[in-house]
Structure 1
């Protein structure tokens, strides 16, 4: 039996139902209740996947054990994905006297190269079952016997795995080890990918919805439980959700995305675009630099913030105040007398918060303030008024969050109207003080989303995820028009509600104490940041919270931090006294401002222990080029080789390279770039431009994009044999532009309007140094030919 609908065909041969488009195929075994995923060449990537449900009391239902299996098809249309066929596979199972149907919904698209799969549990009419857990997709062993797996071509020990987890420790790309679990029990994980470093095959997967159920991914490898003798793969993989819910009608899981056809970077981009569209995510804001006014010792105060603002104003150097420079001043944790209550500490803010907000605004900056909603200090005198809306566990005990110094808060029920009203009143008070942004901390609540925790909500019909999202939505709504900037507790459960996502973790709450050698030091920090770049600018604006570039941190580590932040494309929070920040560090910070907003690609993210090659596309109205960060994370000098094709450049063309931090011309390159003896614990920031047959700008020392921000236009005038360059008003600092001059030319004249200048000629580089970039500048360099 063959059924062809548009570009999708359905063919049944015995018990095997094949559904395929031009890019992939799914084969469903109606005799066994399993399915497999093949690419267009017929290679089996996923073998013998099935669905499993755990009921209350430990009873399991699986598609493997169904008494009856059937399927139906329906042609459908979706404005996001186009036409597709939905195949419903129904599996009738028995749980004692009760019949339960497990349904798998498989969506195969005419013009998309991914699958979307969902599952549902459907009791018979009049029956009720309590579902604890549903494994929407699993290949894991069942009843002690192997079932299926994910096969990418070589041994699982060659696989590298990325799992997007939320925990107190960084968890990005890891190796697969025999009999080692890659996720912990109760650890939130919503998407990931597996990459075979030998075959270069990859598979990406993730939940597409985060609206109702707590979800995670289990993964591991057990060499003793391989389903096939001649093939080895990941044989423990489950995308599951915890329901803990009694149901009497068909109830659905969140859908799951699977993409093997695309290379993993494209697959991730498609995934976040789908998530953004499905959740109607708010538009990500432009990135901004925020100064976190937390002092290294002691508590934040009005005087401390005011003194730092005055110092910046009187010593602008390479920094400015306002949009594109230091745009936000953060009033951090410690400003409040009581956690969760909008009442300033009288010692730090004797005049309240209005005066410091007015001063921040006077200097064209925005004011942001830390706030932890749905919690109150347990010592707060007004707590008794909220007694009925305290969030409690099944034993009736209040739930707590513990702060430094053993200071504790009690959590409030986000489904209780009285708690929502209380939080709204606190935010309204903050808005009246004039704040522009809310630094949101819901980490205490996120920690209580663990399935082992069973809170009692006022709304008995709501799940813990729905409760969290209801509370978060009420905060965002109450805060309008303030920008909400989540600082901690960021997970995919924020999707569709907040437009900013912190990519730092709780272990780095005190940036002053983060050292290179730490277990979760700077290399691990940067590795985690890089693994989350794929969501930047699409799903939300990433936020790095926070970094310290103050002494005694060595200068090489400062350059690594600044380069990583610049290439992230996201927001950055800087902590530490600006008054005590050394002049050279102020100047270095100024070179990444304004933040660019576009993330680099960590080229070797899935290949290396830590990504060493970060490639950024820079596009202007006069040219396009690459800015590439080369990181040596080791304690010894190292070499890095880059194939041009790996960073999207042609191997048949020539490119010229210049290093930003040292202002060094590195030469001409074809096919690959080989850099030797990179110092230990250091970074290079290269500008790569295609070589032309006339003089051209190769770099600047003004902004890390090396022309993407500071230069408005640049062009070669063939008739006058001159290079014409215009720069916009920038800052009151000196800056140099580096011009590559081919052997057939020599500079013959320079004219400049808008700034004093000097020049230096060291073939093949001509350096034009402008004394001030405060106002627009235009200059022209004439050249004479030496031959031709």
Structure 2
């Protein structure tokens, strides 16, 4: 026992020394730091995020239930990051006698004397520490969501920036406000105390035991992207850094983005064809930008039960658009309805099986991080089989974004080679609205006709002999694994 303890002390000292030397060398000239730490996220991160299933209203009981289900269902397959999304600091008004929210974003936030957010007493009465500790006990890593900037309420209270002579009103940029969440002001990084504020916030996260940060409303602000990267590097704890939201991302800021480990390049992706189309468009735009330690992120996997904190109100059919709902509210046809965070109402994912096959095949071939979004305790077997399929995981963790090698009459063929050795994976996608037939030979699949291959149809679990004919459903896919004999 004593020998083991001595060994632990020696290893800890060596790790600390290495980290200290690394931080000192970086501090000499931070302009030289242009990429995420090499030891983090060497393959696309895999985990669960609470947003698709709970919006910004995850509560203690649901968090614990999902954590236990995560350890049972996902951990054996390599998933490791358990991420609580936004709202964990909000003292929400609730619908009477329930845990359901009565407001989209909490007006009242819980923060300390330094303007640092604290766990909601409404949804996390025991704080986050029991959840974080249980996460680590299970051999998993804990993640949390943060919004860019400093709480507007902290600005109004003019809280002190920890360890400095500055205050919130000295560093806030009151003209920089998120379009869809008005809880924060941006931070003016030209002001004294600005970096120290981010340092204090990230140091708190490190003290709690946070292993993964999803930072929102950040992509359009490269100076704050880098400020948070600097804060993470000085905190003394390895933390995976994920940039969000996606949408219109400036490729010219790629140097700043590569200070992080993940870059969202889509809007929120939900269980509809629009989301699938956005992922394909992002794949075309960003292929080739990935590398170990930096991954192109196409948002979460909306399988299973979604929007559990948004039960469908009376008078709502369920398939109305947001504009239609707002019009009914304005005319008085609907009343006492709050349009909450997320999209739609409580439901099982609306994806068809073909769309689900296409979605997860795309994620495998594009090496996008696999962050499950649906509720884990109630997860259906088909969804679980897809997200834990060994070929999906092998292809995804291969870490190479596939390339488009064929695009004709609604059929797209994407190919991802193995990074080590011969072989790889191919997806034949039918992007059209009708069944398509395609005759496929070696040329269409980008394969050498003089090489003898073993070719497997992953979803059908059958061998393929080329040339072959495929009839593919609308929005369906043939997922192929090939290996030279």
Q: Structure 1 residues 320, 280: CA separation in 2 closer, same or farther (over 3 Å shift)?
A: closer
Aligned residues: 372
Following superposition of structure 1 onto structure 2, how do residues 246-645 of structure 1 map, counting pairs within 5 Å? 279=34, 282-283=37-38, 285-294=42-51, 295-296=53-54, 299-313=57-71, 316=72, 319-321=73-75, 325-337=78-90, 338=109, 341-378=116-153, 382-383=157-158, 385-391=167-173, 398-404=175-181, 407-443=182-218, 446=220, 467-468=223-224, 470-479=226-235, 480-488=237-245, 491-492=250-251, 493=253, 495=255, 498-505=259-266, 507-508=267-268, 511-512=269-270, 514-516=271-273, 518=274, 521-537=275-291, 540-550=294-304, 551-552=348-349, 553-591=351-389, 592-593=392-393, 595-604=396-405, 607-608=407-408, 612-618=412-418, 624-642=422-440, 644-645=442-443
Q: Structure 1 residues 380, 577: CA separation in 2 closer, same or farther (over 3 Å shift)?
A: farther
Kept after mapping to 2: 8 A contact 1:372/1:440: yes
More helix as a share of residues: 2
Q: Work out the CA distance in 1 between the residues paired with 2:56 and 2:120.
A: 13
Q: Structure 1 residues 503, 419: CA separation in 2 closer, same or farther (over 3 Å shift)?
A: closer
Kept after mapping to 1: 8 A contact 2:60/2:123: yes
Greater shift in the superposed pair: 334-343 or 544-553? 334-343
Q: For structure 1, which runs of at least 5 residues remain unmatched after alignment?
A: 1-210, 213-276, 393-397, 450-464, 693-788
After TM superposition, the score normalised by the length of structure 1 is 0.43
Superposition deviation, residue 312 in structure 1? 4.2
Superposition deviation, residue 321 in structure 1? 1.6
Superposition deviation, residue 646 in structure 1? 5.6
Q: For structure 2, which runs of at least 5 residues remain unmatched after alignment?
A: 1-29, 91-108, 160-166, 305-347
Following superposition of structure 1 onto structure 2, how do residues 111-122 of structure 1 map, counting pairs within 5 Å? none
Q: Structure 1 residues 544, 633: CA separation in 2 closer, same or farther (over 3 Å shift)?
A: same
CA RMSD of aligned residues (A): 3.2
Give the secondary-structure state (helix, strand or coil) at the position aligned to 2:244.
strand
Query: 2:480 aligns to what?
Result: 686
Q: Work out the CA distance in 2 between the residues paired with 1:544 and 1:478.
A: 29
Q: Which one scores higher on RCO, CA 8 angstroms, separation ≥ 6?
A: 2
Following superposition of structure 1 onto structure 2, how do residues 168-187 of structure 1 map, counting pairs within 5 Å? none
Q: Structure 1 residues 308, 415: CA separation in 2 closer, same or farther (over 3 Å shift)?
A: same
Q: Describe the superposition over 1:176-208 as per-residue Cα deviations: whole angstroms up to 9, x where unpaired.
A: xxxxxxxxxxxxxxxxxxxxxxxxxxxxxxxxx
Superposition deviation, residue 332 in structure 1? 0.5
Q: Work out the CA distance in 1 between the residues paired with 2:45 and 2:86.
A: 20
Q: Describe the superposition over 1:439-461 as per-residue Cα deviations: whole angstroms up to 9, x where unpaired.
A: 12243x72xx6xxxxxxxxxxxx
Q: Structure 1 residues 528, 353: CA separation in 2 closer, same or farther (over 3 Å shift)?
A: same
Kept after mapping to 2: 8 A contact 1:342/1:430: no
Kept after mapping to 2: 8 A contact 1:373/1:475: no
Kept after mapping to 1: 8 A contact 2:198/2:231: yes
Give the secondary-structure state (helix, strand or coil) at the position aligned to 1:644.
coil
Q: Work out the CA distance in 1 between the residues paired with 2:207 and 2:33.
A: 35
Q: Structure 1 residues 311, 400: CA separation in 2 closer, same or farther (over 3 Å shift)?
A: closer
Kept after mapping to 2: 8 A contact 1:604/1:611: no
Kept after mapping to 1: 8 A contact 2:148/2:184: no
Superposition deviation, residue 530 in structure 1? 4.2
Q: Describe the superposition over 1:259-297 as per-residue Cα deviations: whole angstroms up to 9, x where unpaired.
A: xxxxxxxxxxxxxxxxxx994664363222120023345
Query: 1:662 aligns to what?
Result: 460
Superposition deviation, residue 378 in structure 1? 4.1
More strand as a share of residues: 1
Q: Work out the CA distance in 2 between the residues paired with 1:427 and 1:538.
A: 24
Q: Structure 1 residues 280, 645: CA separation in 2 closer, same or farther (over 3 Å shift)?
A: same
Query: 1:744 aligns to what?
Result: none
Q: Work out the CA distance in 1 between the residues paired with 2:259 and 2:33.
A: 15
Q: Work out the CA distance in 1 between the residues paired with 2:55 and 2:238.
A: 33
Larger Rg: 1
Kept after mapping to 1: 8 A contact 2:154/2:168: no
After TM superposition, the score normalised by the length of structure 2 is 0.68
